[in-house]
Amino acid sequence: MSISKIKNRISDSGLVKEVFRQIESEKRIFIKGLSGSLKALFLSLLIEKTNSPVVYVTGDDEQEEIVKEDLETILGHEQVAFFPKIRELANSEVVYESNKKSQLLSALEKLVEKRNVAVVVPAKNIVHKFPQPKFVKKERLSLKAWSEYNFENLKERLSILGFEREQVVEDWGEMSVRGGIIDVFPYSSDNPFRVEFFENKIESIRIFDPTTQRSIKNVNQITIYPQNIEEKDEQEGTTFVSLLEYFDQNAVVFLDETEIIHKEIEDFFLSRKMLQDKSSPDRSETPQENHFLRWEDIQEKLSGLTTIHHDSFQSSRQNEYIDFTSQPQDSFKGSFPLLRKKIDYYFKQKSSISKSNLIYFLCESNEQIQRMEELFLDSEIDIDKIQFAKFGLNQGFVFQDAGLVLFTDNHFYGRPIRWRRRKKVRGGLTIQQLNSLSIGDFVVHVDKGIGEYAGLKKITVQGHERECLSLIYRDGDLLYVPLERMDRIQKYSAKEGFVPALSKLGNKNWDRLKKRTKKHIKDLAKELTALYAQRKNNKGFGFSTDTLWQKELEASFEYDDTPDQVKATLEIKEDMESDLPMDRLICGDVGYGKTEVAIRAAFKAVNDGKQVVVLVPTTILALQHYNLIRERLRQYPAVVDLLSRFRTRSEQMNVVEKLKSGQIDIVIGTHRMLSKDVNFKNLGLLIIDEEHRFGVAKKENLKKKYLNVDVLSMSATPIPRTLNMALLGVRDMSMIATPPRDRHPIITEVTPFSLDLVRMAILKEIDRGGQVFFVHNRVQTIESITNNLRKHIPEISFAIAHGQMDERQLEKVMWDFAHNKYQCLVSTMIIESGLDIPNVNTLIINRADRFGLSQLYQLRGRVGRSNQTAYAYLLIPPVSSLKRNALKRLRIIEEFSDLGSGFNVAMRDLEIRGAGNILGAEQSGHIVALGYELYSKIIEEAAYELKLEKEGKPIPENQENDDVKVEINEDAFLPDEYIDQPELKVDIYRRLANETEITKITGVRDELKDRFGTPPEPVENLFLLIELKLLGRQLDFKQIKVSKNNLTAYFSEKITTTNNGELIEKKVSSIIDKTEGKFHFIQDRKKGFGVSLDIPSSEKKIFEYGKNFLKNLL
């Protein structure tokens, strides 16, 4: 079923036809009664019938989002122009962050192009002035493939249009120049463009991916608009006009609740004045005030356009309103019995709806359609009378005049509005970017140990240039690493901020450390395997398959399940339905949905009459889980209770008695649950949250006490994938590494410390009924900073929390804050994990420059956990006093405002913590000593060797140092004229050195040609050198040398020292059979056995000739 069927039914309504009749003759039309997603469907019909743009204006944030999302679903992203809400900082300055600026410029571009679009404008934006359309048109730049354009002029023009020049284009508003190539990323585009010149002619224009930097497809023409129009000033000769002046006389303006729009505009100006007066009482009106329109001006502009007034409360024009009398669907909150009752009612009532005998049910996904169909099949409703379709509208409605009943899965389950923002251009730092080397970085040489990177150094070998990595070791020793050996180099990473000791070249300590680490990993794995096997020998309870209630509960989750959540849920169910006791660990970052998976497991146990314990480390967490689980299960007769120190003694005893008699189904508790007096009538599942915060002894005692009970543990620190793979078969693990979609972003601002700004930020949050975290990570000065805040903001209440407080006192403060007794909590890093207070949506971090990236990431995760927009203010000293690394960290955290937005840097540190939590303190020490990358590699080797031991196979000798040495008598490197960025050159060298397949070398060659132009001869030689190395590795050669008329290759010791005559004979026979040119076998006392090939003097491509000789031997 397509949406056109529904639109046709609406279009055939007499009321809709009357509106279109009035539009032909009237300038002002008054309507009421458009409910739910009927509003967006009506607006889409307006565009079709009038063949003109439609401007939707609202003063309601929720309606703005609902209508925008619905219109994009109905019309498509390209036909909707959205003007994002003006963002006011605490100091009343108006700004657009990168993502919103892209929406603004994209919307203006659509209007300038005079497209028939649906324009969604918040009331606060209708007051905003923009440069007049003719200025935007005059400034735009059109580029065509194969047209003449001066290269230097284009660089200058792009700079005038507001593009910032960068080394690599990764974000909106950036440009870069390399040779005859210009990359440019307009704000109005989803992807950047690559313009390649031949002299002063545009040879091609390509769209490319900002993450991979690879071209996607060619385009013939692009239009680039000014990127800085919101920064223009009237003094520069730019005239600013109302947004309404972008439309001609045929446009229709839809005012949703005119009085609310008027009030929003008045509140906007009042709020700006109050903020300005509070922060700078003596300041006169700012220049920005000239960029706004008053309500009277807006009314004047509207008088020349057709306006539709949609109001709930009619004024004196009572008789002029066309009443659609549509009704919103009931709030079912996921209750299927209520939905079934409502559908029965519609079929039985005598109206146009029952005559049409059809109900529409729209779902976000095919999976959701399947879930709903399963629920209906288990009921008595005739499913043939319900039409299901995959179409993600937000809200259902009943429109009697069109005989239309429409439900949506989002509305049925009471899900929040989907916040589908325009895609983030950068998914965050890739591992490749994370591992990029800068001078001064610590590196790990697999064979030599930890050194410090000192840059690239050109050296001359037999008259030909090469580039090497220069590394400094202890006592100033230098090591030059040739580019083909850069696969031995890894960037050092361990705990954030840790500075390792440099290794000493020439001693055996490094090798000993690697061997010792591998032995400890093997011992630990064997120990865990024994424990696991012992537990699996016991017989447990096999739970039954999912009930209808279970399906209902899972379908009612307010977010779409991530793939990892689906997988983890299935794995847990398989464990529970088996008669072996479950012992599974769920690992995943904060906010990724572990608790929801655990709730499903708990409910499954309750459905089979079993009791469930949820064990948590703190009373605050206990309260949070208690409230969350009780809310999720409110539709079902499951008894949920709480056992912790904050309950009175009599309340605790009451809970203990009910557990013993089986009157409580799910109990959430702290260490109090471990007391001897706590017993159960029929315990079936034990859930341990933040498992690493319980001692090993306590956990194991608990598992022994309930030997046959299923155990599900959760950890908020993720663990490395390599570690997860190594422990497969040792402990059952589920990884939840995918962040949920469509969450609110956290608006992040890095700003110099100012008490006025702090005051404004705190009061702004308090005014909307919220609370604030103020993080100050120095216990010695936390009292004085709090007193200072009290002095400047006397109207609100403050509390202090830090790790040196008495444990009970600290818990009391946190408990009181969670119960809204204080408005602002001044604390140290102790709020970093495990605290979930949805009412806190402003975070202020003092001296943010002193925090590590993962700490900032974890702290910021404490806000933005409700449907409110969250703010994070990172306070710093003057920028001039900050170190480069601190600025880099702050820029990254500010830039990536979304949850889980590619935070590989922070995730790296969190994974290291997670590895320590799983493996213990001793292994944490090994990670620090060896670096994360090498430690992960040793884990893989240990797991492989354990597998061979188990299968009774021999462990091969360490071949780490066996690799092919290649010599060619030509220049082979990346010249500065081709790539002038050292960090980028090192990255490419390392990628080439780490490649294992020749086909991928071709891919790198294509990438360089795409990004930097045709590779010069030294670069082509570099590719051939790497290809010769890979071929030599496959053919078991240890050394290859190519000169002007000869190729010499020596076999590795693997062939010549095993006394394997059959293998040597096979190699020799292969060479004899497959070689056409002149060759002979050689024996060298030092180098061993090999082959020498004559290269004809007429051969111009000697390296290609040598390469083809080796390829033929494969």
Confidence of residue 20 (pLDDT cuts 50, 70, 90): very high
| Segment 132-142 mean pLDDT | 85
| Percent of the residues in the chain that have a pLDDT greater than 90, as a whole number | 29
Q: What is the pLDDT of residues 265-299, one digit of tens each?
A: 888 887 777 666 655 555 555 545 567 888 888 88
566-575, 890-899, 926-935: which is most confident:
566-575
Q: Do the beta carbons of residue 184 and residue 177 sit within 8 Å?
A: no
Structure tokens at 421: 């923002």
- The per-residue pLDDT for 409 is 86
78 burial class (0-12, 13-18, 19+ CB within 10 angstroms)? exposed
Please give the Cα distance from 498 to 485 (Å, whole number): 27
pLDDT of residue 947: 75
Helix (H, G, I), strand (E, B) or coil at 719: coil
Look at residue 323 in the predicted model and tell me its pLDDT: 92
Backbone angles phi, psi at 681, to 5 degrees: -80, -40
Mean pLDDT value of segment 568-594:
87
Average pLDDT estimate for 1033-1062: 79
Pairing of strands 359-363, 80-82: unpaired
182 vs 162: CA distance, rounded Å? 15
**Residues comprising the chain, all counted:** 1114
**Helix, strand or coil, per DSSP, at residue 370:** helix
Cα–Cα distances (Å) from 435 to 491, 886, 905, 1001, 1067, in that order, read: 6, 18, 9, 20, 39
Predicted confidence (pLDDT) at residue 1020 exceeds the cutoff of 60: yes
Split at pLDDT 50, 70, 90, the class of 81 is very high
What integer pLDDT is reported at residue 906 of this predicted model?
45
Per-residue model confidence as pLDDT tens digits over 827-857: 998 886 667 788 999 999 999 888 877 678 7
The token pair that represents 714 in the structure block: 């959760």
| pLDDT at site 420 | 54
At 44-59, the pLDDT tens digits run 999 999 999 999 999 8
The pLDDT score that the predictor gives to residue 201 is: 94
* Residues 33, 402 contacting (CB under 8 angstroms): no
DSSP percent split of the chain into helix, strand, coil, nearest 5: 45, 20, 35
- For the stretch 1059-1089, pLDDT in tens is 556 667 777 788 887 777 788 888 887 788 8
Between 908 and 801, whose confidence is greater? 801
Residues forming a β-bridge with 1082:
1090
Closest residue by Cα to residue 124 from 103, 101, 94, 100: 94
pLDDT tens figures, 745-791 = 688 888 888 888 899 899 989 988 999 999 999 999 999 999 999 99
Q: Comparing C-alpha atoms, which of 127, 91, 128 is closest to residue 276?
A: 91
* Three-state DSSP state, 684: strand
CB 50 within 8 A of CB 333: no
- For residue 57, the one-letter residue type is V
Helix/strand/coil for 460: strand
Residue 403 has pLDDT above 90, yes or no: no
329-338, 352-361, 889-898, 939-948: range with lowest mean pLDDT: 889-898
638 vs 562: which has the higher pLDDT: 638
Q: Are 923 and 524 spatial neighbours (Cβ–Cβ below 8 Å)?
A: yes
Q: What is the DSSP code string of 738-750?
A: SPPSSPPPEEEEE
With contact defined as beta carbons under 8 Å apart, do 803 and 830 qualify?
Answer: yes
457-485 mean pLDDT: 86
- Beta strands 824-827; 771-775: pairing state: parallel
Q: How far apart are CA 810 and CA 800, in angstroms?
A: 9
Mapping DSSP onto H, E and C, the string for 574-589 reads: HHHHCCCCCEEEEEEC
When pLDDT is cut at 50, 70 and 90, the band that residue 428 belongs to is: very low
Q: Report which DSSP code applies to 499.
A: -
Highest mean pLDDT: which of 69-73, 343-347, 578-582, 807-811?
69-73
For 545, the token pair is 């398959």
How far apart, in Å, are the Cα atoms of 893 and each of 389, 743, 828, 906?
40, 17, 19, 10
Residues 6+ apart with CB under 8 A from 65: 417, 419
CA distances from 539 to 581, 612, 762, 1034 (A): 7, 18, 56, 50
Q: Distance between CA 321 and CA 15 in Å, rounded?
A: 11
DSSP state of 227: S
Q: What pLDDT does residue 904 have?
A: 45
Q: Which of 313-322, 426-435, 531-540, 604-613 has the lowest mean pLDDT?
A: 426-435
HEC string of 601-630? HHHHHHHCCCEEEEECCCHHHHHHHHHHHH
Nearest alpha carbon to residue 467 among 452, 489, 484, 482: 482
Termini Cα distance of the chain: 56
Question: What is the distance between the alpha carbons of residues 260 and 271, in angstroms, rounded to a whole number?
Answer: 16
Instruction: Decide: helix, strand or coil at residue 855.
Output: helix
Residue type, 332: F
The alpha carbon of residue 730 and the mean position of all alpha carbons in its chain are separated, in whole angstroms, by: 30
Instruction: Choose among 619, 628, 612: nearest CA to 667.
Output: 612
Q: What residues does 217 pair with on adjacent strands?
A: 207
Q: Is the pLDDT reported for residue 193 higher than 60?
A: yes
Indicate the helix (H) or strand (E) that contains 56: strand 54-58
The encoded tokens of residue 461 equal 């070998």
Whether 727 and 525 have beta carbons less than 8 Å apart is answered as yes
319 C-beta neighbours (distance < 10 Å), count: 7
pLDDT the model gives residue 425 = 46
The residue type at 724: N
Whether the pLDDT of residue 478 is over 70: the answer is yes
pLDDT at 432 over 60: no
Q: Please count the helices (runs of H) and the strands (runs of E) in the chain.
A: 37, 47
- pLDDT grade for 226, boundaries at 50, 70 and 90: confident
Are the C-beta atoms of residues 844 and 775 closer than 8 Å to each other?
yes
Q: What is the pLDDT of residue 545?
A: 93
Which pTM does this prediction carry? 0.68
The pLDDT of residue 1108 is above 60: yes
pLDDT at 68 over 90: yes
When mean pLDDT is compared across 237-246, 441-450, 504-513, 577-586, the lowest value belongs to 237-246
- Pairwise CA distance, residues 1104 & 1114, whole Å: 16
pLDDT of 468 above 80: yes
Confidence tier at 92 by pLDDT (50, 70, 90): very low
Q: Which of 937, 943, 936, 991 is nearest to 960 (CA)?
A: 937
Alpha helices in 61-208, H assignment, sequence order: 61-75, 98-112, 123-126, 133-139, 151-160
Which position has the higher pLDDT, 704 or 997? 997
Q: What percent of the chain has pLDDT over 70?
A: 82
pLDDT of residue 98: 59
Q: What is the pLDDT of residue 426?
A: 45
Q: Where are the beta strands (DSSP E) in 728-790?
A: 732-736, 746-752, 771-775
Instruction: Write the pLDDT tens digit of every residue in 874-925.
Output: 898 887 777 666 666 666 666 555 444 434 444 455 555 555 555 555 556 7
Cβ proximity of 752 and 878 under 8 Å = yes
Residue 669: the pLDDT is 92
Q: Is the dihedral of CA 403, 408, 411, 417 positive or negative?
A: negative
Q: Tell me, what's the pLDDT at 118? A: 94
Q: Where are the beta strands (DSSP E) in 167-279?
A: 174-178, 181-184, 193-198, 201-208, 215-219, 221-224, 240-242, 252-256
